[in-house]
Amino acid sequence: MEAILPRDVESYQDLKDLGVTLFKDINPDLGSCKRGIFDPLYDLLDAGGKRWRPVYGMILAKDLGMDIDDFEKSKLLYQCLAAGELIHNASLVIDDIEDQSLKRRGKDCAYIKYGLDISINAGCTLLNLPMWGLFRIMDTSDPLCIDLVKEINKELVCIHFGQNWDINWHNGYHFPSEDEYFQMTSSKTGVIPRLIANLVCRINKVEDEKREKISYMTDKLGIAFQIQDDVIALESDAYAETRGIIGEDIHEGKRTLMVIHSHQNLAKSDSDRLLDILKMHTEDKETIKEAIDLIKSTDSINYAKSVAENMIQR
């Protein structure tokens, strides 16, 4: 990841290597680059995270016959895996702003610690750096380079549409069906694992039919992951500690699969109450617990678990 996103810059040449066009060959305000871009991003990256997406990419690459233990020989693979992980983290920085989240990986969200303006700019920087990173190690006229950049650009567009649906729904502009929820999740959570899978397939020259099957399989895995992540957000006290609030999705007003299922199966008065709580974006523990109890009353948590399990089995 540091090959794409350095921890600091020491000269104008470092900036030029990152794609920055400079008016003169002088060292500009390099300190602001560290404070405003690299420090906020590495604050999040150093906090860890699951990192299952690049690991999944390594498993897939090994299955396709790559020698993943030879870093130099598989350098392009690791560059692509790092690109996916960095784009994922960039989306988290911006996602936390849009959701007004409190904590990420047990620490204050970047926008709380560093400010709204710095966090938006840093997140947007990191969305764009991975493509430039490929340009630095590949011949830009190479058809493979073009294919890899196309895959990244396509999924960057997709993730913004997925986020758009999520934002509109938790602001109450539309109540989604289950199929719409699956589409949103595919276009949001499914983006990075699907991107990594497609990049790995492109590197290994996998034929289109097989690549499409791998992409579809990965899509199901991403949706199942999101469903299970939503379940954990309601059930796990340990997860709540890392996010700063129990039932974070209730606070954010998210229309999760559990909410959709519960809304469809509750009596109208209870269903209306659940939606009212979601619209509040409350931090009150008792009110959030009331919403969780309503969701549990329709066995919607177990329903969501069964949907995720079936997707993985298929």
Does 229 reside within a domain? yes
Q: What are the residues facing 107 on neighbouring strands?
A: 104
Report the CATH number at residue 143.
1.10.600.10
**Measured distance CA(143)–CA(35) in Å, rounded:** 37
- Distances from the Cα of 250 to the Cα of 28, 76, 234, 259, 277, angstroms: 45, 41, 9, 9, 8
Distance between CA 192 and CA 219 in Å, rounded? 10
CB 172 within 8 A of CB 279: yes
Separation CA 55–CA 16 (nearest Å): 31
Task: Give the structural domain span for 172.
Answer: 12-313
Q: Provide the pLDDT for residue 60.
A: 97
For 95, the token pair is: 């996602």
Residue 128, CB half-sphere, CA atoms under 13 Å: how many?
A: 10
Residue 2 lies in a domain: no
| Binned average pLDDT, 10 residues per bin, the chain of 314 residues | 92 90 86 95 93 96 95 93 96 93 91 96 94 88 94 96 95 95 96 97 96 95 94 81 78 94 97 96 92 96 96 89
Per the domain annotation, does 280 fall within a domain? yes
Q: What is the pLDDT of residue 27?
A: 81
- Cα 313 versus chain centre, distance: 23
Number of domains in the chain: 1
The pLDDT value given to residue 269: 97
Tokens encoding 179: 């199929």
Residue 96 is predicted with a pLDDT of: 94
Do the domain assignments include residue 7? no
User: Are the C-beta atoms of residues 223 and 176 closer than 8 Å to each other?
Assistant: no
Q: Give residue 75's pLDDT.
A: 92
pLDDT for 167 equals: 94
Neighbours of 155 (CB within 10 A): 22
Please enumerate in sequence order all residues whose Cβ is within 8 A of that of 46, keeping only pairs 6 or more positions apart, or say none. Answer: none
Residue 261: predicted pLDDT: 97
Q: Is residue 139 part of a domain?
A: yes
Return the exposure string of 246-266: e unless at least 16 CB atoms fall within 10 Å of the residue's CB, then b. Answer: bbbbbbbbbbbbbbbbbbeeb
Return the ∠ at Cα 51 (arms to 46 and 57), rounded to 5°.
140
- pLDDT for 187: 96
Which residue has tokens 């790092």?
Answer: 82
Asked if the structure places residue 6 within a domain, the reply is: no
